[in-house]
Amino acid sequence: MNQNFIEFMRDYRDCRMAVAVSGGVDSVCLLCWVVALGMNVVCLHVNHGLRANAETESQYVRDLCARLGVPCHVFYWTADKPTSGVEAAARTARYNFMTAFCRVNNINVLLTAHQADDQIETFLMNLGRGSGLYGLAAMRRVSVRDGINIVRPLLDVPRAELQQYCDDNGIKYFTDEMNQDDQYTRVRIRQNRHVMTDMLGITDARILLAINNLGRTRDAIDNKIAELASTVIDSRRAMFTDSFLFDLAPEIRLKLLGTLIQKIGGDTYQPRLNSLSNALRNLQRDCKFTLGHCTLRRLGTRILIVPEGEKTSFRTKKWKTKIKKQ
């Protein structure tokens, strides 16, 4: 078992957790490892009904959990499937099933089996898109989705190590045929990533080091932005003067506006960069528009952000008090 994984999981030893298990090698190994550590876990599996052997995989996960003595819950995605973007829709459905279960059962932590190769592939995909700091910092070890902590304890464990553990211990797992379909960018990166090491000398370890360094910078910025946001949000409304926003450095300005919109609008993700850039341009003059399930309004030097559909009035006692103090 990987020592880094053991050290990371020490912080969760007294916590009841759910583990997302697809039946693939990564999640099967994760389940076996947390059981070997004696953790209090429940297995969650989603059958998307997208592959011919989906039910076979679901039954295997049930049988594996029975052998390990782990409670298992299987969810079926029976909704109509979209004609495009099926992979993204399936991912959303999967998280919706699992986070809903966690909330109902008072489970605050959901473990997922994203590992080091996934992290590197995400970094390279975002590099190809020209992403900035937040894209290149790739996946977070801990994030929040629908009020549940999504924890990724395998981000520095390579896929080969997980596969070796399962093979050495006779643990069965399934291989998704989509992982070999080179119409997907991630698969093409996976198939050709060796070129970076073989021809350029850029090892996986160095890429992971860069990702971790970028992640620390991202976290420092996030902490500062959260501190700023907390000073102006009151009951899902944010009111401030234009200087509060526009005196900040451009990158901080964008992330602060995105954070305010996300918190007030209640979306899982912040609006896209282009949308935030356009919003900042609009807010340089008197305006009123919607973005991310919020209504944004500027009047004179004052800016207001409220949930979409609510009144956009600046006339509150608290705002008047702030004006007088200024």
Residue 213 placed within a domain: no
Residue 183 placed within a domain: yes
Co-location of 139 and 186 in the same domain: yes
- Tell me the CATH number at 301: 3.30.465
Residue 195 placed within a domain: yes
Residue 243 placed within a domain: yes
User: Is 97 a residue whose pLDDT tops 80?
Assistant: yes
Residue 135 placed within a domain: yes
Q: What residue spans of 158-249 are helical by DSSP H?
A: 159-168, 185-192, 194-200, 204-230, 242-246
Confidence of residue 29 (pLDDT cuts 50, 70, 90): very high
State how far the Cα of 255 lies from the Cα of 214, in Å rounded to an integer: 16
State how far the Cα of 88 lies from the Cα of 41, in Å rounded to an integer: 27
Co-location of 280 and 152 in the same domain: no
pTM (whole model) above 0.85: no
Residue 221 placed within a domain: no
State how far the Cα of 306 lies from the Cα of 50, in Å rounded to an integer: 40
55: amino acid identity, one letter: E
Give the domain-ending residue among 200, 221, 248: 200
Residue 298 placed within a domain: yes
The pLDDT value given to residue 298: 96
Co-location of 190 and 246 in the same domain: no
The distance in angstroms from the start CA to the end CA of the chain is 59
Residue 218 placed within a domain: no
> Using CA of residue 257, residue 261, residue 264, residue 267, what is the dihedral sign?
negative
Co-location of 190 and 247 in the same domain: no
Average pLDDT over residues 197-226: 93
The pLDDT value given to residue 318: 54
State how many domains the chain has: 2
131: amino acid identity, one letter: S
Q: What radius of gyration do the chain's Cα atoms show?
A: 23
State how far the Cα of 203 lies from the Cα of 195, in Å rounded to an integer: 10
- Tell me the CATH number at 84: 3.40.50.620
Confidence of residue 81 (pLDDT cuts 50, 70, 90): confident
pLDDT in tens, 281-306: 999 999 999 999 999 999 999 999 99
The candidate with the shortest Cα–Cα distance to 246, out of 256, 232, 236, 238, is 256
Average pLDDT over residues 76-98: 88
The candidate with the shortest Cα–Cα distance to 144, out of 260, 263, 12, 37, is 263
Mean pLDDT of the residues in the chain? 91
The candidate with the shortest Cα–Cα distance to 221, out of 249, 192, 186, is 249
Co-location of 252 and 177 in the same domain: no
Confidence of residue 320 (pLDDT cuts 50, 70, 90): very low
Residues 161/117, Cβ–Cβ less than 8 Å:
no
Q: Domain residues for 307? A: 233-325
Q: How many residues does the chain have?
A: 326
Alpha-carbon distance values, 208 to 22, 112, 129, 211 (Å): 25, 19, 19, 5
The pLDDT value given to residue 251: 85
> Using CA of residue 223, residue 224, residue 226, residue 227, what is the dihedral sign?
positive
Q: In what order do the strands lie in the sheet with 238-241?
A: 238-241, 302-307, 294-299, 287-291
